[in-house]
A and B are shown apart, each in its own frame.
Chain A
Amino acid sequence: MRHLSQDDLILHYYREAGPGMVKHLADCPECQENFEQLSCMLSAIALPEPPPRGEDYGAEVWGRIRHKLNEGKTAMPWWALSRRWAAVATIAGLIGIAFVAGRYTSRPPANWPAKPLEATNNLQLPQKVLVVALGDYLDRSEMLLVEVAHADRPEDLDLNAQRRYASELVATNRLYRQTAQRIGDRDTDALLDQLERVLVQLEHTPQGATPTDIQQLRQEIESGALLFRVRVAQVNMRAEAKSGHRTETREDPSTPQDPTPIL
C-alpha cells in the first residue's frame, strides 16, 4: 500500500486533497499519525496580527499618493523620447513630400466638399461616462424606489436586503455626485442629492420598522416627485448617450404633469 507523502498531507491540511487521499487517510493509521504530527506543527504557526489602522487610514493613504498618481504616466526614458522625435521627423518629412507632390499633381474640383470643422460630439469624456453610467445607476435606484413606494407595511419589504442595497447605492451615488459637481452638472447634482437623502433614510431604517417608518419613506419619495425626476433624467440620459449632445431642455422636475400613473 502506498502511503501519503508529506506533500499529500499538506494538501489535506489545507483542504485541497483529492477524494482518494481523504479515503486513504481515513483507513490508514500510519498516515493518520503522520498527519496528526504535521497538523500539530502547522496549527502552532500563528503570525502576529497586523497593527490596527485608524478609521481614516484609507483617506491618509489617498493623501499620500494623490499627487503621485500622474507621475510616471508621462515620464519616458531618453531612448524612447529620441525614438519619438525620430518618428515625428519622419512624419514631418513625409508631409513635406506629399505637399510638394500635391503642388504638381491635379487639383480637386472647385465644388469639392470641405470637411466640416465642427465637432461631432460636444460631451467631454468624464461627462460621457457619467451619462452612460448614470443611466444604469438610475435604473437600479428606480427599482428600489418602486419597491418601497409600493409597500404598505414593513412585511412587504425585504428590509435586510434593501438596506444593504441602499447602502451600496449611497456609496456609488456619492461618487457620481462628486463627478457631477466637478464638471458643473447642477441638474444631476441636485437629483443625486435628493436621491441620496432617500437612500440614506432607507439604509438607516431599523430592522423592526413600523408602518409609520415605511409611510415616512414613501412620503419622502413622493413629496419631491423623486421617481418622476429619476425617470425624466433616465430619458434625458439615454437621449444624450445616443446623440452625444447635452439635452438643452429638461422638464421642470418641480411640476410633474401627471405623477400618479408613474407610481
Chain B
Amino acid sequence: MDSLDAAAVALVRAGDRDAFRPIVERYSEMLFRLAYRVTGNEADAEEIVQETFLRAYRKLDTFDGRCRLSTWLFRIATNCSLDLLDRRNLQPQPFDADPDEDENAPEERIRSHQPDPERLAYNSEIQANIHAALQSLTSVERTAFVLRHVQGHSCEEIAEALNVRSGTARQSLFRAVEKIRKFLASAMRPAV
C-alpha cells in the first residue's frame, strides 16, 4: 500500500474522519469510470461512487492491507454496482431462438468493406445492437463482461471482486459473450 493511503487509513481508524478526504479525492474518478461502464448511466454511477466510499469508511477496520486500497475500493464498487443493477431489476430481455449461424453471420458483416457512409450507418446500427445486447445480460454477466472486456481485469480479479470462484467468473464471462453473439446474430440477420 502506498504511503499516503497507509497514512490516511491509519488516521481514519484513529478517529480522524477528515483524513478520509485524500482517499475520496484520489479514487473518485477511477470509481466513477468503473461504475459508469457497468451501469451505463451517469446518475447511477454517481450514486455508486458515493455508496462505495460510505461502505469503505464504515468497513475500514476490516481492510487488512493485503491488497492495495484501490483494489479494495474496486471490489466494493463492483458490489455496489451489482446491488444497484439488481435493485433496478435489469432482467434479461427475451431474445429469439438460435439464428442461422453459418449464413450472414454478424462477424462476416462486420468484416465486410462497404462504402463509408453506408459503413458508418452500419456501425451505428452495430453499436445500438451491442447496447441492446448488453441490456440482455444479467447483472453478474454484464459486470463480468465489462470488467474483462473494457476494464481489462483478469478472471481471477473479477472472481475476487464478485466474491465467487474463478470458474464461476469465467462462466459468467462465457455466458455474456455467447448471449451477445447470439443477440447480434439475431438482430443483424437480414429480413427474408
Contacts and interface: CB of A to CB of B under 8 A. Distances in A.
A47 B15 CA distance: 41
Given A46-B127, A69-B57, A178-B18, A130 B50 contact: no
**Interface range for A:** 35 or more
21 contacts: A10-B177, A14-B148, A14-B149, A16-B155, A38-B107, A42-B149, A44-B110, A45-B180, A48-B40, A53-B32, A57-B28, A62-B25, A69-B17, A69-B57, A73-B58, A129-B10, A132-B10, A133-B7, A169-B3, A175-B11, A175-B22
Nearest to B153: A14
Contacts, number: 140
A235 B170 CA distance: 54
A70 interface: yes
B180 A125 contact: no
B85 interface: no
B28 A129 contact: no
Contacts of B26: 58
Which among A6, A57, A137 has the greatest number of chain B C-beta atoms within 10 A?
A57
Contacts of B37: 47, 50
Interface string A112-143: 00000000000001101110110001001000
Contacts of A169: 3
Nearest to A70: B17
Contacts of A140: 3
Interface residues of B, number: 61
A22 B141 CA distance: 26
Contact of A168 (B4, B20, B106, B177): B4
* Interface SS of chain B: helix
B69 interface: no
Nearest to B57: A69
Interface of A: 6-7, 10-11, 14, 16, 36-38, 40-42, 44-48, 50-51, 53, 57-62, 64-66, 68-70, 72-73, 125-126, 128-130, 132-133, 137, 140, 168-169, 171-172, 174-176, 178-179, 182
Contacts of A182: 16, 18
Nearest to A183: B16
Interface string B1-41: 01110111011011111111110111111001100110010
Nearest to A136: B3
A70 to B, nearest CB: 7
B16 A126 contact: yes
B2 A168 contact: yes
B7 A44 contact: no
A16 B3 contact: no
